[in-house]
A and B are shown apart, each in its own frame.
Chain A
Amino acid sequence: MGHGITGLLLVALGGALGGMGRFAVSNIMAHLLGNAFPWGTLIVNASGALIAGWLLGYFDMLITQPLWLFTIAGLLGGYTTVSSFSLQTLELWQRGQAPRAALNIAATLVLGLAMAILGWLLGTGAQ
């Protein structure tokens, strides 16, 4: 199943929907809060980590292969991003805004991991 064409299609479909969701959230955040700080990517990554943690906590090892492929590998994998985070951090640094670049790194790591743990705790509690 996982190596079959159905598995690949589930990853592709989830990844496509997740990517469009990320694009929408990034655009809305840029519109609301401006481009001085990459809020969109931060919010996408924090919320994606929260949902991924919740799924892992709720289903634990019992998560089925198709559900894992569609939600974790596809939807949330496509929704969250490291490439935009890297590019935006570099851009902040090159614009002479080293404190903002450092803040982006710290906020992404701390918030991302904290949200994944919070999601996991909420998920195991909701079992």
Chain B
Amino acid sequence: MSWKVYLAVGVGSGAGSVLRYAISLATMTAFGGYFPWGTLLVNVLGSGLIGWLAATISRFPHTQLARWQPLLIAGFCGGFTTFSLFSLETIHLIQHGYPTFALLYVLVSLPLWLMAVWLGERIALSRPPSQ
């Protein structure tokens, strides 16, 4: 495990984090700050992307895309999605007297994350084998 792999993960994660932050600012401007739409959106998109990338790379392991795996998967997808903000937002909703919203947030997020990763994989596997 060389330092280059760590560097690639760092660059991908930094880029993913900036994009996550930009999306959370944009959704706050668009929908307000009552419900954490931004985090929900990045976690669903990031789950879909990791499903697509992992399946595509395992199908075509000798491509340019496969070479970028640490930057894209552990780096970008990892940095783009966030579990700590998801936890903080859930607790924040409870503390501010919205336990129903907190429960709804958890019960909506989890199936959407898992459906997104499954869908991403499906899309990758449905592509014709020639690339």
- Give residues in A with beta carbon < 8 Å to B: 2-3, 8, 11-20, 22-24, 26-27, 45, 48-49, 51-53, 56, 69, 72-74, 76-87, 89-90, 105, 108-109, 112-113, 115-117, 120
Contacts and interface: CB of A to CB of B under 8 A. Distances in A.
A28 B20 CA distance: 27
Contacts of B86: 82, 112
B14 A16 contact: yes
Contact of B87 (A2, A13, A27, A112): A112
Interface of B: 1, 5-6, 9-18, 20-21, 24-25, 43, 46-47, 49-51, 54, 70, 73-75, 77-88, 90-92, 106, 110, 113-114, 116-118, 121
A76 B80 CA distance: 11
Nearest to A19: B13
Contacts of B118: 90
Given A2-B25, A90-B114, A116-B90, 4 more contacts: A15-B15, A19-B16, A27-B1, A56-B91
Top 4 nearest A-B pairs (CB, nearest first) are A19-B13, A15-B17, A16-B14, A80-B83
Contacts, number: 178
Given A19-B78, A53-B91, A115-B87, A86 B11 contact: no
A83 B1 contact: no
Contacts of A3: 25
Contacts of B43: 82-83
From DSSP, what is the main secondary structure of chain B's interface residues? helix
Most B CB within 10 A of own CB, among A20, A53, A80: A20
A78 B78 contact: yes
